[in-house]
Structure formats: C-alpha cells, structure tokens
A and B are shown apart, each in its own frame.
Chain A
Amino acid sequence: MANNIDQNLDEFSAEEQELIRRVELATRHELPAGLATRLEAEIASGPQLKPRPLALVQWGTLAASLVLVITALVLGYVFLNNSRPVTAAEVEKRVGEAAQKNITPGSIRHRLYDMTDAAEGVGQDGKPVKISIPLNYEDWSLIREGGFISKIKSVESGSVDGNSYRQTFLYTEDEKLNRIYSDPPGKIIEIPSGDFKYSVNELETKEQFLKNPNQQIYSGSLKYTQVSLLEPNKDSYVLRYEFEAEQLLEGKQVKSKGQMEFTVSKKSYEVTGYKYSLFFKDPRGNDVSYVRDAKITSTELLAPDPTRTNEIFQLGAPPNTPVEKQ
C-alpha cells in the first residue's frame, strides 16, 4: 500500500508533488495482521444494533406531542366530568364516604333545628285538623353510624290548639332500612312490619295530634321505589327517595305515598337538610298530609356505642326514662 500512489497530482507543482510522495510514503501503512483479523471478525458478526438515538429536534417534537396529548386528556377529562350528569348513586356513595370519615370510631349526631311540622287531616271527631307548628324541639337527632341513619331521637314539646304537649320518639333502624340508602336506584326493598321501631314515652295531646301518625304509618311495610337527584342550586344536591307504605291504621290497611329529601353539600357531601312528606287517606277516606322540613345546623361526635345492637337508643334520655322495646 505504501507504494500505491494513485492521486491525480497535476494541480501540484513538481516540488509539491515530491513532497506529497514523501508524505504518502511516510504516512500510509499496511493494516497490522492482528487488527485485520479482529476487524474481519467484527464485520462478519454483523451490526450490533442499538436503538436509534433521537435528535434534539425529535426529542422536542416528542415532548411537544406529549404535552399536547396530556393537555388534551386533561381538558377532555375536565370537560366530560363537568358535562356528565352526576348520578344519584354517585352522590349517595360520596355521602356515605364523607360520613364514614366522621363516624370513626363513634357516631355522629346531626342536630336539626329550624324544623317545622305541618299536618292536615280530619280528627276522630270528624272535624278538620290543620296543624302548622314551629315546635320546640328539645332534641331532634339523627344518629348516623356507618354512613347511614341508624337511630333517631326526638324530644318535642309545643302547643296545639291551646293544649300543650311533649313527646319523645326513639327510633332504631336495622340493616334492611339502611339499604334504602345503599342499594341502586329503582330497586324495591320490602321492609317487613316492625323493622322500624319506635316508642312513645310521653304524649300529652295524642288526640290533637292526629293520633300520632308516625306510630300508625310505620307499623306497616315500606317500599322504596325510586331515588332521583336534583340540583336546586350550584351549592347542593337533593337526593329524593320516593316510597310507598302500607300499614295498619285503626285496624284497617292504609296505603300511603311519601318522599324523603336529603340536601347534600356539593363541596363536602355532608347532609345539610332533611325533608319528609307523607300523604294517605285515613280509614274514613279523609286525606291526611304530613310534612317535616328541617335544616341540619350542627353536628357533633358522640362516644362510641359499645353494644352496636338494635336496641332502642337511649342516649340523651332523661334518667329513669322508661324505654319500650317494640
């Protein structure tokens, strides 16, 4: 190779050509045998393919593509999330989750104030009875355990048609009734008679109070028929449960329809309001309506209930107050 001088040197002067020949002779060498063997082996083994490195521009393109895709996904998610109607089941689930955070390890008491009762009907004497009373509620508490209402205590006193009265209601619910709040919308749940228990400790004006409609109504069965979700304003949802009840009243089967509405904060999913209404015909064919409307204005944690049984709730009852089991 050292003598393989094949360049066209016409452009160079004779002196330059001589110099070039010296350079070529001094710098051109044969390939050492060991190196030749090594190179031939490497070439024979073929290409050692490596992932093609990306040029800077390609990295930029890739990064920009990723940013665009991620932005599109985020915007799409936000858009869909905002435009997709929220279902009642989703709100129920979140209400349950929000309540769960508060009840461990004990229970939570929602104190209801600003509550009004209104009832219209016909008394046993055949005269119309219309009651609209801002009652004096000494205590009206929904006791929530496991995210659901499990016990209710109500101590009410007031004046109806000049007659004072005071009554205490103590309720407890079991798992079947709690399913109202946990099963999918539209499912019908049979609540056998007696599952929703109550007791009346004091009732001074039972004659004036429509024979205590609560007692009669809840002694039958309850069919949960439908739940729907309303959005009355930007701050809250309303979960509306419609139901049908069938119970014995004065020894006769009476069918009734009613609805419960829970107002739920969109921010915290806490229940902030409660409304209950019931309509039925009494055994004599008179229309009776009963409406309760309340705001839940405060909550407080209660001590854990060590028994966690379905026994009638006694928390807050005056000492020596007899509690009936139904």
Chain B
Amino acid sequence: MEDQEILEKFRHESSKNYAFNLLIHKYQQKVYHHIRKIVIDHDDADDLTQETFVKVWQNLDKFKEESKLFTWIYRIATNECLNFLRKKRQKFFLPIADVSKDLLRKLETSSYISGDEIAIRLQKVLLTLPEKQRLVFNMKYFDDLKYEEISEILGTSVGALKASYHHAVKKIEQAMNSKI
C-alpha cells in the first residue's frame, strides 16, 4: 500500500490502528536492520525499533509530508540510536572508543550473529570508524539510499556525505585487505 493511502487511513479514528499496522509491516524490517547495524545487539535493536514506532505513532499526525515518510521514520530511528549510544557513554562515563569496544564485544558474543566470517570482519572494521561515518556508510552501502535521502535523514549536505562515504570506503578497503 502506498504511504499516502496509509496516512489517509491513519487520519480516521476508525482505521487508525489498521493503518498503523500496515505502516509497521511495511517498514519494520528496514527500521530494525538500520538500528541493528548501529547498535549491533538484537535486544537493544528490538527495544529501539519498538520505541521508534511508538514515537512515529505519537507524532504521525504532525507529519507534514514535506519529506518522504521513510526518511522521516529513518530520522527518528537514527535519533533514537544516537541518543541511546550517547546515554550509554554518559551513564558509564565512557569515551567513544570504549563504546565501540562494547559494540565489538557484542558482535562477538551476542545471540543471532551468523557465522559469515567476511560479514563479521566487515562489521568489526566498521566499528573502528567514527560513529557518524559508520552511520553514513551503512545507509549508503547496505541500505542503498541515495545521498539526497541520507541528506534528508541527517540534515547534512550531500557533499559532506559523499566525502564521508569516500573516506569510509578507503579505510574499509584498506583494513579488509590488510593481513590480520
């Protein structure tokens, strides 16, 4: 179902829940995987996915359709993730590097991690990147979003995103091709 149709149904009290169910079904996998790539751990991703949709529910009537619905949802999800990581740092007085170490540990010990060696190695390399660079790389490489869409989500210029992605690719290829 098209977003427009979902939004139309959401505006009517009688079809509000139905419309929101459709919205969740349509976007849950994209949102979950976007979040999972940032926080690594399934349980954290599950909680943040739910929280993202709760926020979408609470604010969808204020959505002005000046952007695509999915970029708006991605923006909320991204914000939830960054706040989650920020609070983690504040709570445990951790520098960014230690949060990355924590995420790395989760990559090695959490449930629901496949045995694909190259894919795991790539994730480990990604965890060595600055947080925002990893975010930009994930959205471009795995989610195949256009720079314009990422720009809408992060409120960042396309030029900055291109530069950030370019730097990330160089670093990743170098790390992946170096001997362990």
Do A and B belong to a common assembly? no
Q: Name B residues whose Cβ lies closer than 8 Å to a Cβ of A.
A: none
